[in-house]
Amino acid sequence: MAIRWEKWVSRFEVYLVAKDITNGGRKKAQLLLLSGSKVYDIYDTLAEDTDDYGAVKTKLANYFKPFKDEAMAILMFREQVQKPGESVVQFVTRLRAQAKHCGFTDIGKEIRAQVLQKTINRKLRREVLKHPTWTLNEVLAEARAIENSEARAGDIEGRGEETINRMRNIPPIAMQDRTPKNKCEKCGCGCQGKTPNQGNKQSQSNKQSQGNNKQSQQKQPFTHTPGVCSHCGNAWPHDGGQKNCPAKGKTCRNCDAIGHFASVCRKPKRQGQGQEGPNIISALHISCDNDQGNDNGLEYVY
């Protein structure tokens, strides 16, 4: 109660200065009016006709003084801890306000000890322990330096993490789009050189047309045509008979059987199986000036 009264009177005197009230009678009237009806009733039991403003203030202070308990005030001071988000300077300000009612002979020493025990800043605690002769002002200077450096470091590290997170969130397609279109990925020119991942960049229409062609090939197995060899796809009969067929002893790349080419294989084409080099080239022939075992002057290229 005494602490509350002292705080109220302190603010009331600031009010008197702000309102430029200097007359003693007006001060007394303002004190009894603004303090409330309960305070007025208390003073009414103590009032004398000769009381001025100073006398009224002293009588009320003496009335509330017996209720002042320094032991309780010290206990409340010891229970003060630094709050999350509160700076050390703000924490010390609260300690100063509470220490006024504790009757300490050395308020600075008591506040320094309380900061050492109840601060949430571990770096500050270590620094204070390393410098036992520091005064309260030196502790506050070190606290400001630590808090400012932590704030700056947090800003710098936060910007770095934000940049890394933005880089991590870039979709893979965005990274691929950095390569100019219609440019060779090896030399950067317009040769449109093929690379292993170029198949992933084909247009949807090309993929659909290729899929339709493969499906039509699978659904339409080879049928024998008169005058065409069913083993190699060339004209039939061969000069020299079946033993001179180019497909004799060759392995089909479609069904792995021996004795015919994949181009004339009667089984459905494998998924992803296209015409291969030997199967296409076997249908080609090159005229040769020298007869090297072929009666018709043609040489098959495998």
pLDDT of residue 262: 84
CB of 127 closer than 8 Å to CB of 146: yes
Q: How confident is the model over 116-132, as pLDDT tens digits?
A: 999 999 999 999 999 99
pLDDT, tens digit, 9 for 90 and up, residues 245-269: 888 888 888 888 888 888 888 888 7
pLDDT at 34 over 80: yes
Q: 47-95, pLDDT tens digit by residue?
A: 887 788 888 888 888 887 765 678 888 999 999 999 999 999 999 999 9
Between residues 157 and 225, the one the model is more confident about: 157
Q: Which of 20-24, 42-46, 174-178 has the highest mean pLDDT?
A: 20-24
Q: Is the pLDDT of residue 232 over 50?
A: yes
Q: Which two tokens stand for residue 256?
A: 């792995």
Write down the pLDDT at residue 125: 93
- Concatenated DSSP letters for the chain? -HHHHHHHHHHHHHHHHHTT---HHHHHHHHHHHS-HHHHHHHHTT--TT--HHHHHHHHHHHHGGG--HHHHHHHHHT--PPTT--HHHHHHHHHHHHTTTT-S-HHHHHHHHHHHH-S-HHHHHHHHH-TT--HHHHHHHHHHHHHHHHHHHHHHHHHHHHHHHHHTS-HHHHHTTSPTT--TTT-STT----TTGGGGS-HHHHHHHHHHHHHHHHS-----TTB-TTTSSBSSPTT-GGG-TTTTPBPTTT--BSS-GGG-SSPPPTT----HHHHHTT-EEE-SS-SS-TTSEEE--
* Better pLDDT: 50 or 219: 50
Query: For all residues of the chain together, what is the average pLDDT?
Result: 75
In the chain, where the domains are located: 2-67, 70-164, 225-302
Q: Quick: pLDDT tens for 169-217.
A: 656 554 555 555 555 655 655 555 555 555 555 555 555 556 555 555 4
Indicate the pTM of the whole model: 0.39
What is the model's pLDDT at position 190?
Answer: 54
Q: What is the pLDDT of residue 280?
A: 42
- Selecting from 3.40.1000, 2.60.40, 1.20.120, 1.10.1200, what CATH number does the domain 70-164 have? 1.10.1200
- What's the average model confidence in pLDDT over 242-246? 81
Q: What pLDDT was estimated at residue 3?
A: 73
